Amino acid sequence: MRIIVHKARCQGHARCSAQAPDVFRLDDEGYILPGDIEVGEGEQLLASRGARSCPERALELDRT
Which residues lie near ligand F3S (CB under 6 A)? 10-16, 26, 31-32, 54, 56, 58-59
Q: Closest distance between ligand F3S and the C-beta of residue 54, in Å?
A: 3
Minimum CB separation from ligand F3S for residue 18, in Å?
Answer: 8
Cα Dmax for the chain: 32
First to last CA, the chain: 7
Cα–Cα distance for residue pair 42/33, rounded to 1 Å: 21
Q: Which is nearer to ligand F3S, 39 or 59 (CB)?
A: 59
CB of 14 to ligand F3S, least distance (A): 5
Q: What's the CA gap between 57 and 61, in Å, rounded?
A: 10
